[in-house]
Amino acid sequence: MDVMNQIIKLNHVMKIFNNQKVLKDISIAIKKNQFTVVVGPSGSGKSTMLNVMSGLLTPSSGEVILDGKDITKMSKDQIRLFRREHVGQIFQSYHLLSYLTARENIEIGAFKNQDLKNLDQLADLLKIHHILDKFPAELFGGEQQRVAIGRALIKNPKILFCDEATGALDEENSKNVVKLIHHVKKKFNITIVFITHNLEIAKTADEVITVNNGEIYSVLENKNPLDPDKMNLKYKEDKIIGQYK
């Protein structure tokens, strides 16, 4: 892979919790402006790998290079600033503040003194204009996740990390969120790293990384990604290992 085309790179990354190696000498690179899906069994280390990639976790050893910067050499404050400027992140739990409206929850993802004129454009894209003045308790799960996506995108990040972003949603809302994230990738030309248990979502990716037992099991380039409209999200996770190798 052309080094200039890499936006994420892990070099010999290890992560140890309580004397247990959760990530074992991981080395991998992800291209700019690509939709990459990470799959693997529960407990395989995929969420830990994503959190190390995004700067939420510090590796026990190895290098994490984001957009040409080795964040393992940064202080905690420098990493926090770097993440705020370059990284958006979406989780299975929406992490919305209950005492703020949807609009206010999105605004807290912005830079200090940022011009928020793009909020209305973002609300149009996410189809949430009609709920901007509502509180999280008044919203359905799919609506809450759209607000969380808005919060992650308001600062125009270069990379969007999605950790089980559809895990708490039903089939229809899951499909809508995946379609939306694909649309976001194309519209804003950003890099997406998406963790999931659902192999149908993996079929829509440009690249699929399979993680097992803290190691990279396989990396597959998908030359003919599935149209998100054609996903069957009833597909289960029980045969992840062996599907992509």
C-alpha distances (whole Å) from 94 to each of 12, 20, 106 are: 32, 29, 12
Judge whether 239 lies within some domain.
no
Residue 61, pLDDT above cutoff 90? yes
Residue 245 has a pLDDT of 47
Judge whether 146 lies within some domain.
yes
- Domain holding 43, by residue range, is 3-230
**CATH number of the domain residue 102 falls in:** 3.40.50.300
Tally Cβ neighbours within 10 Å of residue 95.
13
Judge whether 242 lies within some domain.
no
State the average pLDDT for the chain.
89
The residue among 245, 221, 210, 186 whose CA lies nearest residue 31 is: 221
| Mean pLDDT, residues 191-205 taken together | 93
Judge whether 236 lies within some domain.
no
Judge whether 156 lies within some domain.
yes
Helix then strand count (H, E) for the chain reads 7, 10
- pLDDT confidence of 205, banded at 50, 70, 90? very high
Q: What is the pLDDT of residues 105-130, one digit of tens each?
A: 999 888 765 666 678 888 888 889 99
Residue 244, pLDDT above cutoff 70? no
Judge whether 108 lies within some domain.
yes
Give the pairing of strands 191-195 and 69-70.
unpaired
How many domains in the chain?
A: 1
Residue 51 has a pLDDT of 95
Residue 241 has a pLDDT of 46
Judge whether 243 lies within some domain.
no
Q: What angle do CA 51, 44, 28 make, to 5 degrees?
A: 60
CB 126 within 8 A of CB 137: no
What percentage of residues in the chain have a pLDDT greater than 70? Answer: 92
